[in-house]
Amino acid sequence: MSTIDSITLSVLAGRMEQIADEMDATLFRAAFNPIIAEAHDASHGLYHAQSGGTLVQGKSGLPIFVGVMSFAVQAVIEKAAKDGDLADGDIFIFNDAHIGGTHLSDMRLVRPYFRNGKLFCYLASVGHWHDVGGAVPGNYNPAATDVFQEAFVLPPVRLARAGVVNQDIIDILLRNTRLPQSAMGDLNGQLGALDLGQRRMDELLDEYGDGTISAALDALGDRAETLMRSELSSLPDGTWEARDFLDNDGIVDEPLAINVKLSIKGDRMVLDFTGSAPQCAGPVNIALPTTVATAYVAVKHIFPLLPANAGVMRPIEVIVPEDSVLSAEFPAPTGGYTETILRMIDVIFSTFAQAVPDRIVANAYGTINALSIAGKRSNGQPWVMFSFYGGGHGASIESDGLNHGNAPISTATIPPMEILEAAYPVMFRTWALRPDSAGPGRRRGGLGAVYEIEVLEENGAEAFLFGERGRFAPKGIAEGQEAAMNVFSYENDGAWSHPPLSSKMRGILLKQGEAVRLETPGGGGYGPVEARDTSAIALDVARDLISAEQADMTYGSGWRGVAL
């Protein structure tokens, strides 16, 4: 095997990251669906030929896909070994969440990359399709009790064999969606991204040689492991534990515990999720690949300078009990995986906050508030507006939390109001910050948001919400306080109502002119409230971020009369 010097390694790392970044950009520009095109709910990367481990991932894709896509590639490796006929030009496609992680809306394409007739690595693409069948348009069904009520399930199958596309597979895909044009556009975008990745890899290997690139990929994994061990060695040894809750599973109105015990000893770390709730009836279960990937995302937040590859996880053991909500077995529903992994990140942050509070931010708002509004236009054509919504991020030792940010599981962006209004028969009556929603502290959390969405279509519409944090508020750290909780309401005949299960509901019938309203949580505070600077309080009041009454109640009246 070729050896490689540090300068060449750095150059090649940048080149390979650029390949994944270009694949991301290709799909973002080509996709028909705003969740990919605008929100960037997709990812691309290079994966190890034998293990499926992540080698390189694009910087614009979702971090959660770094870990889960390695499981997706492993599933393809296993299928190819069983079938015994892997060929150059094969492309596999599937959405089975219990094999590849996340949920059925995320369509995965995996392509082996051959070099001189020998398998060199895998290229992979994943994107959140707008609709893949099931009982609820947009597929976030809060009342699902198995995966078949969420969407159609596609195991790993060959979309293309030796470069020849199997039209039968495409026909099946398009027959199982309410929006076939959107699905076809997204599929073509993902195929285009894989084609580009193939060309760029050819160019890279032509320039540097197969041996040099292979050595670089091995070295990048080893370097990531070394850096992770160094980071862990700098932390105090010890064991810390934290617990938080999901509101309910959408079926049974009882809270579900997410528990983690963090242990650090030398250059190794254990995250033990024993004590978490058992597998549940509703769709907040997640499969084991998703749990492992979420642990990686949390670690990457805490150690942001670490590279994005599988070497980071070598010194980390993740323990997940069987029959847990974090290790659900097929056909348990997993559509609301986003809510569960957000709570996982919260509890991991809470354990690290006990060990090294100066490196951790308080809990973010903790729910993507997956909201679907769907119906038929006057010409009979179906429409589905699915989107996710922002909230406040947690405060840190350095600063107040970010107002109205996106969830910390991703680098996705919230689709702009103008894009949504242009694409669907809706109008946003309100899109604004939510005063008094931030968790108080020496540094306050970020503010949540208020969205009020009116239906314009004369045929009306049906709404579906899958959210969280309606009963358990985002927590502060280092004596910082909790933020405001999630509030959802909907309008019928001039009266406003709330879901019986607080944060989840399906089948909300809306007439033309009626609306739904989301008031999203803020982020938790950092440090004791008595330590907050009075001028910062006065400025927040002047900017209407906090009411004078709330400021007096939380911080006292010492801010009054402070000159700005």
Tell me the C-alpha distance between 316 and 313, whole Å.
5
* Three-state DSSP state, 534: helix
Residue 479 within a domain: yes
Distances (CA, A) of 482 to 103, 443, 468: 30, 12, 15
Band (175; pLDDT cuts 50, 70, 90): very high
pLDDT tens string 286-305? 999 999 999 988 998 899 88
Angle at 433 between CA 432 and CA 435, to 5 degrees: 130
Q: What is the mean pLDDT of residues 176-196?
A: 96
pLDDT at residue number 212:
94
What's the rounded Cα separation, in Å, for the pair 53 and 92? 17
Q: How far apart are CA 298 and CA 317, in angstroms?
A: 14
Choose the final residue of a domain: 210, 226, 242: 226
Count of helix runs (H) and strand runs (E) in the chain: 12, 20
Bridge partners of 113?
121
State mean pLDDT over 314-321.
96
CA 183/CA 164 separation, integer angstroms: 20
Residue 2: what pLDDT?
53
In a domain, 336, yes or no: no
> Does residue 344 fall inside a structural domain?
no
Mean pLDDT of all residues belonging to the chain: 94
* pLDDT over threshold 50, residue 364: yes
- Give the pLDDT of residue 409: 76
Query: What are the DSSP calls for 145-211, one per residue?
Result: SSGGGT-----SEEEEETTEE-HHHHHHHHHT-S-HHHHHHHHHHHHHHHHHHHHHHHHHHHHH-HH
User: Please, are residues 342 and 366 in contact by the beta-carbon 8 Å criterion?
Assistant: yes
Laid out side by side, the sheet with 487-492 consists of: 426-433, 449-455, 515-519, 487-492, 495-497
pLDDT of 346-360, one tens digit each?
Answer: 999 999 999 999 999
Asked whether 376 and 421 are in contact (CB, 8 A), the reply is no
pLDDT of res. 219: 92
Q: How far apart are CA 409 and CA 62, in angstroms?
A: 7
- pLDDT reported for residue 410: 65
Residue 157: CB atoms within 10 A of its CB come to 14
- Compute the average pLDDT of residues 384-401: 95
- pLDDT over threshold 50, residue 322: yes
Q: For the chain, how are helix, strand and coil distributed in percent, rounded to 5?
A: 35, 25, 45
The C-alpha atoms of residue 344 and residue 326 are separated, in whole angstroms, by 9
Task: Quote the pLDDT of residue 300.
Answer: 87
Using the predicted structure, report yes or no on whether residue 454 has a pLDDT greater than 90: yes
Domain presence at residue 376: yes
Q: Is the pLDDT of residue 5 over 90?
A: no
Check residue 63 and give its pLDDT.
74
Mean pLDDT of 415-436: 95
Residue 235 in 3-state DSSP? coil
- The answer, yes or no, to whether residue 519 has pLDDT greater than 80, is yes
Do residues 221 and 370 share a domain?
A: no
Q: Are 118 and 93 in contact (CB under 8 A)?
A: no
d(CA 488, CA 370): 12
User: How many domains is the chain partitioned into structurally?
Assistant: 2
- Domain-located, residue 389: yes
Say yes or no: 219 and 368 in one domain: no
- pLDDT over 90 at 265, yes or no: yes
pLDDT surpassing 60 at residue 75: yes
92 SS3 class: strand
Residues 220-259 pLDDT 10s: 999 999 999 999 999 999 999 999 999 999 999 999 999 9
The pLDDT of residue 38 = 85
Residue type, 496: W
pLDDT exceeds cutoff 90 at 536: yes
- Of 227, 474, 510, nearest to 363 by C-alpha is 474
Q: DSSP of 369-415, one letter per residue?
A: -EEEEEEE-TTS-EEEEEE---BPPPP-SSSPPPSSB--TT----PP
Q: What are phi and psi of 329, to 5 degrees?
A: -105, 150
Pairwise pLDDT comparison (80 vs 414), residue with the higher score = 80
Q: Is residue 137 part of a domain?
A: yes
Is 313 within a domain?
no
Q: Span 330-349, mean pLDDT?
A: 95
Q: CA–CA separation, 233 vs 517, rounded Å? A: 47
Is residue 107, in this structure, part of any structural domain at all? Answer: yes
Predicted pLDDT at 564? 84
Domain that holds residue 120: 6-226
User: Does the pLDDT value for residue 285 go beyond 50?
Assistant: yes
Q: Return the minimum-mean-pLDDT range out of 60-64, 281-285, 521-525.
A: 60-64
Please report which confidence band the pLDDT of residue 1 belongs to, taking 50, 70 and 90 as the band edges: very low
Task: Tell me the average pLDDT across 395-413.
Answer: 87
Q: In terms of residues, how long is the chain?
A: 564
Reported pTM? 0.93
CA pair distance 368, 530, nearest whole angstrom: 32
**How many Å apart are CA 333 and CA 321, to the nearest integer?**
18
Question: Per the structure block, which two tokens stand in for 393?
Answer: 């991020």
Across the range 156-184, mean pLDDT stands at: 96
